[in-house]
């Protein structure tokens, strides 16, 4: 397998939002800088959500302004609604992410809106973003299994995906929010989506809750997906989804892809230094499944 793989680092947002306590803006800035220094060119640097709901993300506008625009770098932010979009736009963010959960209950738990209301909000943000020259990533959360409703019908996920892409989303990210998917499910769904839409507009976001994160990435790779979310050191999880702990670790994903002959243009030693940095910031060691081996063998 020989291809260029895009890694979208979500540690500064999805990784930090589930941690006890909050990092200072100075620490968050240093964290993103360390990730960029490793060659990562796509980073979800924060979210424009209520600081009462997610205090770890307070001050993301200030962070975005300080980071500024970088040539060849995409710094994105999650926006829950039009107000979040406007705040992000005012802070200079060029790539926004909107999230639609694939079940009614998860939408209610996550943003206190019904499925129809959530889709209306997402479409409005996507359409405005497209008109204003922004990239808008549409996430379909709990796309395989919901912690409240159980297994999700893949046909329904495909229908939602078509609506979001037809609305003008720059890309669609299929998210296994609680890490419940298996490789057979992933290959079936992503192969179907790749046939129905351009594979370049598809991405995946996996959690390693049940130790299947890397296997699911391999299945998506076989389906033609070449863009993946990951979180440095395996940080993260959704605070509104029970059992969602543990994003697939960036260093594990880079190792898998490069050992298979794919290119990520990410420097492993510098990436491991970023893991060490956030471990120090959080006061506890972080690292993916291969961290011990990588820390002793990465050139």
Contacts of 297 (CB under 8 A, 6+ apart): none
Catalytic residue among 146, 238, 257, 262: 238
Report helix, strand or coil for 182.
coil
Query: Residues 243, 214, 95, 27: what is their CA dihedral angle, to the nearest 10 degrees?
Result: 70
Spell out the long-range contacts of 270-276 with Cβ–Cβ below 8 A and sequence spacing 24 or more. 270/34, 270/37, 270/38, 270/39, 271/35, 271/38, 271/39, 271/40, 271/232, 272/298, 273/34, 273/37, 273/38, 274/31, 274/34, 274/35, 274/37, 274/38, 274/232, 275/232, 275/233, 275/251
Place of tokens 């929010």: 177
Is residue 204 annotated as part of the catalytic site, yes or no? no
Among residues 238, 267, 240, the alpha carbon closest in space to that of 255 is found at 267
Give CA–CA dist 96/124, Å, rounded: 13
Q: Tally Cβ neighbours within 10 Å of residue 83.
A: 11
Q: Which residues are catalytic?
A: 238
């Amino acid at each position: 397998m020989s291809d260029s793989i895009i890694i979208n680092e979500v540690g500064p947002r999805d990784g930090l939002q589930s941690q006890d306590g909050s990092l200072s803006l100075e620490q968050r800035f240093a964290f993103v800088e360390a990730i960029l220094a490793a060659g990562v060119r796509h980073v979800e640097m924060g979210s424009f959500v209520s600081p009462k709901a997610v205090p770890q993300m307070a001050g993301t506008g200030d962070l975005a302004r300080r980071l500024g625009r970088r040539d060849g770098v995409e710094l994105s932010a999650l926006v829950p609604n039009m107000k979040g979009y406007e705040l992000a736009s005012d802070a200079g963010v060029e790539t926004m992410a909107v999230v639609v959960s694939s079940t009614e209950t998860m939408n209610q738990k996550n943003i206190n809106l019904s499925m129809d209301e959530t889709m209306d909000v997402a479409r409005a943000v996507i359409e405005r973003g497209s008109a204003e020259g922004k990239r808008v990533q549409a996430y379909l959360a709990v796309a395989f299994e919901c912690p409240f409703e159980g297994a999700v019908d893949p046909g329904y996920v495909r229908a939602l995906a078509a609506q979001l892409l037809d609305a003008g989303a720059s890309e669609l990210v299929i998210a296994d929010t609680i890490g419940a998917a298996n490789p057979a499910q992933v290959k079936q769904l992503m192969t179907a989506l790749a046939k129905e839409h351009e594979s370049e507009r598809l991405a995946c976001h996996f959690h390693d809750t049940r130790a299947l994160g890397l296997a699911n990435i391999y299945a998506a790779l076989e389906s033609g997906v070449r863009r993946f979310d990951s979180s440095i050191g395996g940080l993260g999880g959704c605070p509104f989804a029970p059992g969602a702990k543990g994003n697939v670790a960036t260093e594990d994903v880079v190792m898998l892809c490069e050992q298979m002959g794919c290119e990520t243009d990410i420097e492993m030693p510098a990436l491991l230094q970023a893991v060490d940095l956030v471990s120090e910031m959080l006061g506890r060691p972080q690292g993916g499944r291969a961290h011990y081996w990588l820390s002793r063998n990465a050139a």
